[in-house]
Structure 1
């Protein structure tokens, strides 16, 4: 409840009530107040009302506790939110991921552009049933094709689906192992000995997910919130439809907002002393008529020196603070304004790219180097969890 107090200029001529009248009026209010409180107390002291009050209080506590347990990430029930901006994130560390992940599986993830989505927890999903899921999804696609569904792949004999596990990406015991999906097809006019061609790829992952959220999930649910796809949209729709029918989940688009693009720009710039990023290119969209896109390419050494100057003394080596990210982007914008008199802060950052990878506001990302896959996937996992409706 908000209490608003309004003061007015005091005017002696407007005071028409004497001191005695004020005292009587005040006593009358006190009598009315205590009479009402006495009546309320007498009503609440009955055993039946006490029992009702206790039950209501207990029910309220339980409902509030369930709401709190379901909203560890500052969600609002039924709404999509992304209000929680961490003060710091882990800085990327160069590591040979092929020591913990099969190099052939790593090659499936890197140097390809993926379209991002979020997916709610999967009900009764089991990593031990992947062969069965492969057959079920294949049968589902054949059934949908026989019903006349247009699948924009070409003239194909049929579809074969492969589910597999990418071991080694999970960083905590609560992270579910990554699941990779491939859809293969053999063209009608291909030779008999030709191998089926991969026409669609996708994977579900969770890397260093929020522990409070993961612990709050019932045992029947598996959280793989980040869904990355590559291939015809018609096949993506089919795969999502099958998952929704079998595992009682739902999908949604996962865009990468300006703040997270700034994080990625800072993370990749921070890699420069270890791995040369070769260039830093940023694309802003300015709210002009018509809208104007500004492409800003920065020399890698200049970008690194600016980033290094923004590093705070009290920041640990394995983290990057939001203040450092903001200062880095503002430094780039100030430099651009001095030369071209264009204020990039008035627009929105839409795209970033380096030799290590690229990302677009629409939810597209390409990871060109395997060295920093865990860090990037951790950021995207966090974005997916924050985007998810409750």
Structure 2
């Protein structure tokens, strides 16, 4: 059962008031107009000091089933998603989702008349679009509520009484977004930088086009970099004590001719023991003499873990993975590919994964 609880959704605002002159400008142009000249934008610390975090909170189990609608959550965790980043949306309002549903439906119908969106078949009313808020999918006070979009349609030769079926799904989210970056945005912009889609590519293109025309934003491909994949190797392995990862599978590519692809599978207990061997002992006190509230993982531990895995592989097969790149990682908690495809298989740790992906999306943002 779909939920349209848009009236209670949160669209973060801040105290900056900016006038906008031309809505049809590109995102880069409009963003510069918000902050003034391009040189002023270049001096904005929150926009220029963005770097990949070198330390992260150790994953902790989140029982989000108590907060998130079960039907929505089932869709999010059972699907493999293609990732994109999207720049802040101009004048997007969570309270207008029903209106957006009608507008996108009409837009798809218009595109279909021009020969596009061919997967949306059937003469019986065409596509039905639904926008809904995924209540509970926020972590920080500055995060905007996650928005789920679904497109339903009937097959071309469906019976008249046959219900419409979902042919495309997508969602926009921001989990633990960088507060400095979010605070630097003018109040008319809503930041939902991570866009996940599943379905025909031409429908994805149509949805992106509608967003770009209505909210003056820009979409771009979001790969999961070599470094981000290594972070996922460590973060997911760290969860093994609470939730068995069942396996640690990595796919590496070596730059030879033709390219050599290596599948490296590690027993979960072996992976856990190797990870435990490089983990630093939790500090009982920080420099101020206070107890450290949360366990963390730093980049040195991640690199040490990956190096141990490489060394272990070299001893057995005399192949040095350091010359190659990590292209894919999978455990029982999920899978991720360099091409930007992600599947989250365990909802308890999806917040950890989405925090990393939100950071990746924000770092990819053109300014």
State the TM-score bracket (shorter-chain normalisation): 0.7 to 0.9
Residue of structure 2 in register with 1:345 after alignment:
322
Alignment of 1:295-306 (within 5 A): 295-306=263-274
Q: Find the counterpart in structure 2 of residue 188 from structure 1.
A: 156
Pairs within 5 Å for 1:11-50:
none
Q: Distance in 2 between matches of 1:73 and 1:384?
A: 15
1:174 maps to 2:151 = no
Would the aligned equivalents of 2:334 and 2:344 in 1 still touch at CA under 8 Å? yes
Q: How big is the shift at 1:313?
A: 2.1
Q: Distance in 1 between matches of 2:236 and 2:310?
A: 18
Is the Cα–Cα contact under 8 Å of residues 175 and 351 in structure 2 kept in the other structure? yes
Aligned to 2:131: 163
Check if 1:151 corresponds to 2:128: no
TM-score by length of 1: 0.79
Structure 2 residues without counterparts, runs of 5 or longer: 1-35, 284-291
Q: CA deviation at 1:155?
A: 5.0
Q: Which structure carries more helix by proportion?
A: 1
Pairing 1:252–2:227 present = no
Match of 1:223 among 191, 200, 213: 191
Q: How many residue pairs align between the two structures?
A: 322
Rg larger in structure: 1
State the alpha-carbon separation in 2 of the partners of residues 183 and 247 from structure 1.
20
Q: d(CA) in 2 for partners of 1:308 and 1:336?
A: 18
Q: CA offsets, 1:161-205, max 9 Å, x none?
A: 000000111112211000000000012322232221000000000
TM-aligned CA distance change 1:319 to 1:140, over 3 Å? same
Matched-pair contact (CA < 8 Å) for 1:114–1:229: yes
Match among 96, 99, 116 for residue 63 of structure 2: 96
Distance 1:149 1:204 in 2: 23
Where 2:154 maps in the other structure, the secondary structure is strand
* Aligned residues of 2:245 and 2:333 also touching (Cα < 8 A): yes
How far is 1:116 from its partner? 0.1
CA-based RMSD: 1.8
Counterpart among 43, 47, 54 of residue 72 in structure 1: 47
Bigger CA drift: 209-218 or 152-161?
A: 152-161
| Counterpart in the other structure of 2:178 | 210
Match of 2:243 in 1: 275
8 A Cα contact 1:73 1:213, kept in partner: no
In structure 2, what is the Cα distance between the partners aligned to 1:342 and 1:172? 44
Deviation at 1:154, TM superposition (A): 5.1
Higher mean Cα deviation, 87-96 or 65-74?
Answer: 65-74
Q: Alpha-carbon deviation of 1:63?
A: 7.3
| Alpha-carbon offset, residue 104 of structure 1 | 1.9
